[in-house]
Amino acid sequence: MYFFIDFENTGSSGLKGVEYLTEEDRICIFFSQCCGKIESGLLRRIMESRCEIDGVKLARNGKNALDFYIASRLGEVFGAGYEGRVAIVSKDKGFKAVQDYWKQSDRCRQNIVLSATIEQCIASANENNERTRKIQEDLKTVTLEQMVAEAGKRNMLCRRIQSKIADPVSEEDMAAVMKILEMKKSKKEQYISCLKFFGRENGRRVYHMIRETESRKGEKRYGIQTF
């Protein structure tokens, strides 16, 4: 995917999601004299992704000047035969007009996504790959009540598992248990997963504790206090 970063508009916040970039991506940062600095950590993560990176600096200040730069580069890219996705990373709603223009083109229809961060652009592009699914899952919102309830359930499970298993329960162990719960597997699949991760004896104990915890859903809101 090609990412055009309106850095004057978004600043570093627009680069949220650089950890999802790959060597198949291209990123072009449009900036001006007044916004020519980037955190070294962000730059390092971009470089580590091994994506193709380019930068365009505004030659002369003017109203919406960088917007015209981005629109012009977009035309260059499509004119050169590029047929992949292009993401315009900007909070400027004016780019909706650019998006609408290319939607009318038979050659490039639906190829442009517009959002405020790299992460959101990848999610909006809705490509059929693992990074898209991971981002879309991470961007789902939950209520604070749900968050506290899940944390309470996790803590309770950890205490109960630790009381039944002689070996210390690591963070990796709990992550495995929570993953088994989150994947909404059948009882048989949960049982097999527990045996694979914890061994036969401990796995059976963990499985029974998971089932007991699942059966108590609705009886108690773990960790929630109301007054």
| Tens-binned pLDDT, residue by residue, of the chain (227 aa) | 999 999 999 999 999 999 999 999 999 999 998 887 888 888 899 999 999 999 999 998 888 899 999 999 999 998 898 888 899 999 999 999 999 998 887 766 658 999 999 999 999 888 888 899 888 888 877 677 766 777 777 777 777 766 766 566 677 777 777 777 666 567 888 888 888 888 888 888 888 877 776 666 544 444 554 44
pLDDT at 26: 95
Give Cβ neighbours of residue 81 (< 8 Å, ≥ 6 apart).
Answer: none
Q: Quick one: 48 exposed, middle or buried, by C-beta within 10 A (0-12, 13-18, 19+)? A: exposed
The DSSP call for residue 18 is: G
Angle at 137 between CA 146 and CA 28, to 5 degrees: 135
- pLDDT computed for residue 227 by the predictor: 44
Read off φ and ψ for residue 129, nearest 5 degrees: -150, 170
CA distance 182 to 160: 19
Amino acid of residue 27: I
DSSP string, 155-199: HHHHHHHHHH-SS---HHHHHHHHHHHHTT--HHHHHHHHHHHH-
The sheet with strand 2-6 has its strands ordered as: 52-57, 26-31, 2-6, 86-89, 112-115
pTM above 0.85, yes or no: no
Q: Specify the pLDDT at position 222.
A: 47
Give the H/E segment covering residue 87. Answer: strand 86-89
Mean pLDDT in the chain?
Answer: 83
Within a 10 A sphere around the Cβ of 177, how many other Cβ atoms?
25
> Whole-angstrom Cα distance, residue 87 to residue 122?
8
Q: How far apart are CA 58 and CA 7, in angstroms?
A: 11
What pLDDT score does 110 carry?
A: 59
The gap between the terminal CA atoms of the chain, to the nearest Å, is 51
Residues 62, 128: Cα–Cα separation, whole Å: 40
